[in-house]
């Protein structure tokens, strides 16, 4: 969606450091691209793909971008995405944004790249860079990783700081690595960890993160592991099921014990409550973020809605902004509906969900 005009200068300086014997670590000189909902305090814009945010750059780097630069990575540019990380319309096209238009799958240009980190998945798949950063609230790293044939990791929420990233849900949001191999994705995971006092969830990771996860890479890592198969999510396409069955066999051959027909109770009861949580948290988080940006003329969710209405031909030629409108109708985070929805999601997904299953 945008190329960093300073990329060549950054690369030359890092080459000079290496020639002088100063190597910052495994990311020194490695070309990286990041999703265009992550702030960079440079000459590039941060827009979440929206025409409403086209204008002056963010005031400073997001916490993880600062860590990325300190690690010696070359920030080549920003990647396209599903606009507002796919939280604008109920009928959106994955990978479409008003600013970047339609991102395409490099394996089949007429096929869906999935989203919302569509450009991050497509860019690393097409060898435009070595590693990318995507963000995920609910599938936005793992889905484009799958569709573009690459590796995506959604870290535990709080392992990477979220400050300086345009939010949807502070309960679920996190950035994460995308790469062509497990080893490459793992190489990015550790250097971007760290305690950020401005992100309360980041503070909870203190004492729990590693600065180098590559030391845990093990070609025999599946030996003795117990892997549950949740067949309720299968059965929609016989060819997909065939690929999955082959992958189960590969896991067995690598020494894993396959526990078949696992059931995660309560999963299907969380959807409605989870959506309510996202609507409330999106309004709260986006209003906070937009209030911190200057020079763009958009200071709130309501301002964004009005911009889209006034620029309908450019901003909404194919689908609308139903989710923005629904979020704007919500109250604050003290509202009973929000608190009850959050409690339900946490209970059904944790102690009555994955914990009970395990």
Q: Return the active site residues.
A: 35, 116, 140
Q: Which residues contact 155 (CB under 8 A, 6 or more apart)?
A: 174, 175, 176, 189
CB atoms within 10 A of CB 212: 14
Q: Where are the beta strands (DSSP E) in the chain?
A: 2-3, 31-35, 74-79, 96-97, 101-102, 131-136, 151-152, 174-179, 226-228, 257-259
CA 169 vs CA 73, 137, 213: distances in Å: 28, 7, 27
Q: Which residues contact 132 (CB under 8 A, 6 or more apart)?
A: 32, 33, 34, 35, 79, 117, 119, 120, 121, 123, 124, 177, 178, 179
> Which tokens go with 265?
């109770």
In 3D space, the residue among 114, 121, 122, 191 whose CA is nearest the CA of residue 160 turns out to be: 191
- H and E: helices and strands count for the chain: 14, 10
Q: How far apart are CA 166 and CA 68, in angstroms?
A: 18
- Whole-number CA gyration radius for the chain: 21
> Which tokens go with 243?
């690929």
Q: How far apart are CA 71 and CA 131, in angstroms?
A: 13
Q: What is the 3-state secondary structure (H, E, C) of 289-318?
A: HHHHCCCCCCCCHHHHHHHHHHCHHHHCCC
CB of 300 closer than 8 Å to CB of 320: no
Strand partners, 96: 102
Q: How far apart are CA 72 and CA 25, in angstroms?
A: 7
């Amino acid at each position: 969606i945008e190329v960093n005009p300073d990329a060549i200068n950054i690369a030359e300086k890092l080459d000079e450091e290496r020639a002088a014997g100063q190597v910052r670590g495994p990311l020194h000189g490695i070309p990286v691209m990041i999703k265009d909902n992550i702030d960079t305090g440079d000459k590039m814009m941060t827009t979440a793909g929206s025409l409403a945010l086209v204008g002056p750059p963010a005031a400073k780097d997001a916490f993880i971008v600062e860590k990325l630069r300190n690690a010696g990575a070359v920030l080549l540019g920003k990647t396209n995405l599903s606009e507002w990380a796919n939280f604008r319309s109920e009928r959106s096209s994955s990978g479409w944004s008003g600013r970047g238009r339609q991102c395409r799958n490099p394996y089949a240009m007429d096929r869906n790249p999935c989203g919302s980190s569509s450009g991050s998945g497509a860019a690393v798949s097409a060898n435009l860079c070595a590693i990318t950063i995507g963000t995920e609230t609910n599938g936005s790293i793992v889905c484009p990783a799958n569709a573009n044939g690459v590796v995506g990791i959604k870290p535990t929420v709080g392992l990477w700081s979220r400050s300086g990233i345009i939010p949807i849900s502070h309960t679920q949001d996190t950035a994460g690595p995308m790469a062509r191999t497990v080893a490459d994705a793992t190489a990015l995971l550790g250097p971007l960890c760290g305690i950020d006092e401005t992100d309360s969830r980041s503070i909870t990771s203190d004492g729990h993160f590693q600065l180098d996860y590559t030391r845990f890479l093990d070609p025999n890592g599946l030996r003795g592991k117990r892997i549950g198969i949740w067949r309720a999510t299968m059965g929609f396409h016989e060819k997909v099921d065939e690929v999955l069955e082959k992958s189960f066999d590969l896991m067995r051959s690598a020494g894993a014990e396959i526990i078949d027909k696992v059931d995660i109770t309560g999963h299907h009861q969380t959807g409605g409550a989870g959506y309510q949580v996202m609507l409330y948290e999106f309004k709260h988080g986006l209003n906070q973020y937009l209030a911190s940006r200057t020079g763009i003329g958009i200071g709130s969710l309501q301002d964004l809605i009005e911009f889209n209405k006034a620029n309908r031909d450019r901003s909404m030629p194919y689908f609308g902004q139903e989710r923005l409108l629904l979020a704007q109708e919500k109250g604050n985070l003290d509202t009973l509906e929000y608190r009850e929805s959050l409690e339900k999601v946490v209970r059904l997904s944790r102690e009555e969900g994955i914990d009970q299953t395990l």
